[in-house]
């Protein structure tokens, strides 16, 4: 599992990549309060988070997720 983040202006993105052959469920920290839009499919949006809230998310095998805070849905 690889986790990285990127900030640009008012936007912040959190990227989780799973290079294994099995889905991975992990506890991820979301540093900013508010809503995060999942950019690849919009199926794993994270809404109503407090600052530094952690959520359990499942990352599909050989795939990833990108959540972005500070963008319109």
- Only one residue has tokens 């900013």, namely 32
Domain architecture of the chain: domains with CATH: 2-69 (2.60.40.1180)
Which CA distances in Å does 26 have to 3, 8, 44, 60, 71?
11, 25, 13, 11, 24
**pLDDT above 70: residue 72:** no
Q: What confidence score (pLDDT) does residue 5 get?
A: 95
Q: What confidence score (pLDDT) does residue 73 get?
A: 54
Contact 38, 65 (CB under 8 A): yes
Q: What confidence score (pLDDT) does residue 10 get?
A: 85
pTM metric for this prediction: 0.89
Nearest to 56 by CA among 31, 27, 34: 27
Task: Give per-residue pLDDT as tens, 12-71.
Answer: 999 999 999 999 999 999 999 999 999 998 889 999 999 999 999 999 999 999 999 976
């Amino acid at each position: 599992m690889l986790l990285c983040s990127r900030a640009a202006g008012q936007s912040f993105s959190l990227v989780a990549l799973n290079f294994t052959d099995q889905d991975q469920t992990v506890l991820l920290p979301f540093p900013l309060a508010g809503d995060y839009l999942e950019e690849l499919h919009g199926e794993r949006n994270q809404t109503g988070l407090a600052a530094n809230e952690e959520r359990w998310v499942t990352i599909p095998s050989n795939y990833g997720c990108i959540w972005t805070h500070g963008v319109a849905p």
